[in-house]
Structure 1
């Protein structure tokens, strides 16, 4: 029995139609100013529960009013372009109708969290890196979501059932969960893999016949 499904967000449940890379622009501005930025900048952005302005302030990057307006406009444009994949909406509806609990687990910066929640108002369970301070494939992020959903990682038992996860990253959405006994699957939207869309995946889950 499969009782819960964990979905990755970007590249799996949602897509960004217009990438503006505002944080990349912020880092470039910091380097231009001589700010010593470590290669772990993206990790900091996705594990610090900070607004865009607060990230800049914390890193010591000074932004003129015009530069701040420009970068925040770029961020707003990217956020506005986030949209659910149609098959994600269909899959979530099918799985919830079948009684499967749905959670979303994602590495993302703070401004994107509300966008994901708004895109899937009927999904109540989330594990976002900026809220927990850890990123996939750190085991604790998956375990935190399982705890929130009231399910147990592992191969399950008669009462708890099994937990599965799917996403477009082999490392974070397949191998990471597998190490905990959460059955991970790789989504390949190029049609070159075994699972190419979430409707297909949902049908297999509901039929208890999801093949890796």
Structure 2
């Protein structure tokens, strides 16, 4: 059974990852990945931090293309813009997302989301989950998970010590191990895996676990 470390107090806030945890993309087009490939085809040499820059600056698709040195008149960009719209329009909540959030909020636990994403992907998150206590995006913080700054920003937004924050997400390093190194309580969501001391297979089970220890 999962457990909270004795060094940590019962959580006052639960922080969820966004995509892969609360939400999923129904039609995957990966326009930003396509954009980086297009830049490479046009002669731009890829840099190691390209993906990080696209997630830590507030860049729409055309602004990202400009940053990559692509002309705004390039016909392929219009196709990528359509792909982006298709992806954003296909975003859906996992069936256990809202029930888990409601369980926590009804018990007085605040709920936040913390995610690495390009700026346009924040739109469906806020449309589908409009009543959370905090939204922490990599492109507004200028840092990505598992860098400490992004977790610290969540704590600042909620005026809550890191030790009172519990995070769960589908990426082990970003959503479990990274938060733990910063003093948070971190847990892994593995929908196709097996439950362990630190891993949950659905969000309802995680919410019940949190409520059992507060």
TM-score by length of 1: 0.91
How many residues end up aligned between the 2 structures? 202
For residue 96 of structure 2, give the secondary structure of its aligned residue in structure 1. Answer: helix
Partner residue, 1:180: 182
- Out of 119, 134, 138, the residue aligned to residue 128 of structure 2 is 119
8 Å CA contact 1:35–1:61 kept in 2: the answer is no
**Which structure 2 segments of 5+ residues have no match?**
1-9
Partner residue, 1:140: 149
For residue 136 of structure 2, give the secondary structure of its aligned residue in structure 1. Answer: strand
8 Å CA contact 2:62–2:72 kept in 1: the answer is no
Output the CA distance in 1 between the equivalents of 2:65 and 2:15.
Answer: 32
Query: CA offsets, 1:48-103, max 9 Å, x none?
Result: 11111011011101254532221100010011111111101110011000000101
Partner residue, 1:89: 98
Partner residue, 1:204: 209
CA shift for structure 1 position 129: 0.3
8 Å CA contact 2:110–2:133 kept in 1: the answer is no
- Out of 19, 24, 47, the residue aligned to residue 15 of structure 1 is 24
Query: CA offsets, 1:147-187, max 9 Å, x none?
Result: 11121012xxxxxxx22110111111111111122110011
CA shift for structure 1 position 39: 2.9
Output the CA distance in 1 between the equivalents of 2:32 and 2:153.
Answer: 27
Query: CA offsets, 1:10-58, max 9 Å, x none?
Result: 1111111111010111112111110122132211110111111011011
Output the CA distance in 2 between the equivalents of 1:35 and 1:48.
Answer: 20
Q: Does 1:52 align with 2:57?
A: no
TM-score by length of 2: 0.90
Once the two structures are overlaid, the 10-residue window that deviates more, 55-64 or 127-136, is: 55-64
Output the CA distance in 2 between the equivalents of 1:88 and 1:153.
Answer: 23
CA shift for structure 1 position 120: 0.4
**Which structure 1 segments of 5+ residues have no match?**
155-161
For residue 35 of structure 1, give the secondary structure of its aligned residue in structure 2. Answer: coil
Show the 5 A alignment for 1:153-164.
153-154=162-163, 162-164=164-166
